[in-house]
Amino acid sequence: MVLLAPHLIDAISVGLPDVIRAMLLDSFILFHLLRNTFRMHGTGLLLLSPGSQIQPKLLVIGYTVQEILVTEQSYFQELGIIINIIKKKLIDAKIITQFSINAIFGGIDELYDLHNKILDELLDACSLESWIPEKSVIGDIFLKHVQEFERAYVVYIDGKKNSDDTIEKEAASTENNGQFKTFLAQCLRSRETKFTDLKELLLRPMQRTTRYPLLLRELYKRTPDDHPDKEFIKEAVDTMSEIANKVDKKLQSIQHIAQLFQAQRETRDCPATLINDKRRCLMEMEAVDPKNSNIKYKLFLCSDLLMVTLVELKAVGGLFANRTPTVAAGGPGGPGSGGRRKFKFVRWIDLADISDTIDDPTTELLRIRMEQPGQDSLSTQFMANGQPFTLAVEFKMDTLAHGAAQRRGDFIRTLRNEIKMHKKKKAGEVVEVNNFE
């Protein structure tokens, strides 16, 4: 006897020659393919004798329905690992405070409850008793939970940085005598957690939101036009795509703010006013002085300015490769003070003060020409009108590195785009910005 989920046979056997399909049905191969893909209830299985033939219906949609259900179950199981295993054990161990536990797992319980409902409804819709290929619908399941879905993921994304920071803080803390760090290591070695790191598990919700539009879009393409689920799926694709985009933008915004704080922490003599509720750190890029390649810079591209910093290398034999130079990139940096930092502040360049950028791939120079700054300019230093500010983007050393040329191109394009947007804002023009408040 072979155990099969008959309404999914179409998904496995579609497109196979009759002889091959018969071979599959006469063996346990198909059972092994299916047995780990479903939460098999007695009512969801059919006993078939070897050699039985199934007349498939609507073969083209079976595989995608199966994939949606299987991946949803896998995701729900991972949420369960976080809550029912890791969080529970951490509470029982009393290694860290309840306050820290709430910070680490903020929003996870809401996601677990939401996806428990979604999975149950998918299982009911796809069960043997309910599944009718010509009539069954699953698109409405996603539409029913749209508001709850969006609300739950907003809460989770909002707390994600605090969660990561708390994990790092507790792992480095001496108050718990390294017990939390040991606990994380034990999680990584445990079968119960599928040998997965906690921070990796906490990334799953962001990854999952990007999968829904892809899976539903594939189901839409495979569903006949006269099928009752066609319009539900189309609306679900549009809605889940919108939510995925909003979540992505929200996450990017949080990351950009975090990068801004990191840039401020790692830069000696950095003005405290770098931190601004309207400013975002979008990208960073290495650069060198075109006259002296030993002088290295780190450029931080923000939404309204370009921060130029000098890379402070460690002393070797009592000598420093980098010194605080007087160069075209902004003059002397000054002696400065502070603790151990990676960079030393050199200057700000207001994006509105940049008249043009010239990207010369033959010499790998990025020439930035500055206008005379206005009264409200953020630029900390400037030169005579029209004199170029010149840096060489540091790809001479890693030209052959994977993705180097693309990264350089991305930086140039982003810089030019931000210059245009910032100038429009200063001129009072309306700029479309997609926010997710």
Prediction pTM value:
0.65
Q: Do residues 65 and 138 lie in contact, with contact meaning Cβ atoms separated by under 8 Å?
A: yes
Domains and CATH numbers, the chain: 2-48 (no CATH), 59-265 (1.20.900.10), 272-426 (2.30.29.30)
* DSSP H or E stretch at residue 411: helix 404-426
pLDDT tens-place string over residues 356-384 = 676 666 666 677 766 666 667 777 764 44
Given this model, what pLDDT does residue 371 score?
64
Given this model, what pLDDT does residue 11 score?
44
Given this model, what pLDDT does residue 360 score?
64
**Nearest CA-CA partner of 208 in 251, 176, 174, 256:** 251
To the nearest 5 percent, what fractions of the chain are helix, strand and coil? 50, 15, 35
Find all residues with CB under 8 Å of 99, minimum gap 6, and list them.
none
The DSSP result for 368-390, as a single string, is EEEPPP-TT---S---STTPEEE
Q: Collect the ranges in the chain with pLDDT lower than 50.
A: 1-57, 315-339, 382-386, 397, 433-437
The DSSP result for 181-245, as a single string, is HHHHHHHHT-TTTTT--HHHHTTHHHHHHHHHHHHHHHHHHHS-TTSTTHHHHHHHHHHHHHHHH
Find all residues with CB under 8 Å of 164, minimum gap 6, and list them.
199, 202
For the CA atoms of 263, 268, 272, 273, what is the dihedral angle to 10 degrees? -60
Given this model, what pLDDT does residue 428 score?
76
d(CA 235, CA 258): 35
